[in-house]
A and B are shown apart, each in its own frame.
Chain A
Amino acid sequence: MSIGPERYDRNFDTMTRAQQAKLASSRVAVLGLGGLGGGVGEMLARTGVGHLTLIDGDLFEASNLNRQLFCTEDLLGTSKALAAEKRIRAVNSTVQVTAKAQYAGSANLYDMIKESHLVVDCLDSIHARFMLQEAAQKAQIPLVAGAIAGVTGQVTVIFPEDKGYELIYGKKEHLPAKGIESRTGNISYCALLVASIQASESIKVLLGRGEILRNKLLIMELWSNSFEVMDLV
């Protein structure tokens, strides 16, 4: 069945027609297709971002079922990137999807993201986050970063000329490989809440619209319903 422009009817008039067209020609790379990346990928596809590059070298395992949208029981042991590609095609066949079942490393990151207008950091290692920031700086594209631990989450937006992760995690020479999420785990509704805000910031950066979390860190904590935007500089 052919689906016409009514696919995006409920995007209006929050979006203008010109903004919808801008999204259709936008290219976004999503790094990490777990709790954050699954939500971000699906929301960007439904909103109408026209080109998505979905990158993750991991295979699904049972511990992903508590939060990762693309993870279903029948897909355990299979590629996260290929599952994401299939899901996005099923949701919105007008999106040009490129799936890369590869781990992000300093050698391949730049090439994987250089054609994109924006990159979304949904990774689960602080070291990899710094590598991605360097690649995004080299590609001169903005980065929308989200991170979670338990029911705590944070989001910021890093432009190529910004200090970025150093303001949040300190100098990269003195980093722990993992944050406290190795103790707290990750809860589904917190992952998807942070993913939603990453999707929102991505759309705002692509459209040049609204207030962006640049040099700011939105921190949320759900036991206490704390939502606060902090100034990083």
Chain B
Amino acid sequence: MAKIKIAIKLFVTLAPYLPENADNYEVEEGTTVETLIKNLKIPSDAVKLIFVNGRKQDETCVLKPGDRLGLFPPVGGG
């Protein structure tokens, strides 16, 4: 299976799960956001918002070469 490279940004409480080479992270072609979350061992209920290239997506989104992925936990303080 061919490999592609993406950039990953994990916010706040998700930051400890950030892999090495997050700016140039290699995944298999066809990887979904859901699979990546699982592979990074992030608890799936810890992720509230998924953005790919600045647009909201759901976990079924298939990652493409050069994508910028951002994952956010729920933020609700006031």
Q: Which residues in A have some Cβ–Cβ distance to B below 8 Å?
A: 32, 34-37, 121-126, 129, 146-150, 152-154, 167-170, 175-176, 178-181, 183-184, 186, 217, 219, 221, 226, 228-233
Contacts and interface: CB of A to CB of B under 8 A. Distances in A.
A176 B74 contact: yes
Contacts of A123: 78
Contacts of B77: 35, 124, 147-149, 178-179, 181, 184, 186
A35 to B, nearest CB: 6
Nearest to A31: B78
B73 A179 contact: yes
Main secondary structure of the interface of B (DSSP, over half): mixed
Contact of B75 (A121, A125, A153): A153
Contacts of A129: 76
Nearest to A182: B77
Contact of B12 (A32, A35, A150, A230): A150
Nearest to B12: A152
Contacts of B78: 32, 34-37, 121-124, 146-148
Contacts of A125: 76
Main secondary structure of the interface of A (DSSP, over half): mixed
Contact of B76 (A181, A221, A229, A231): A181
Contacts of A168: 48-49
A188 to B, nearest CB: 12
A178 B56 contact: no
B11 A124 contact: no
25 contacts: A35-B78, A37-B78, A126-B74, A129-B76, A147-B76, A147-B78, A148-B75, A148-B78, A149-B12, A149-B73, A149-B76, A149-B77, A152-B12, A154-B75, A179-B74, A179-B75, A183-B13, A186-B77, A217-B49, A219-B11, A229-B54, A230-B54, A230-B56, A230-B70, A232-B56
Max chain B CB contacts within 10 Å: which of A32, A35, A126, A186? A126
Contacts of A184: 12-13, 77
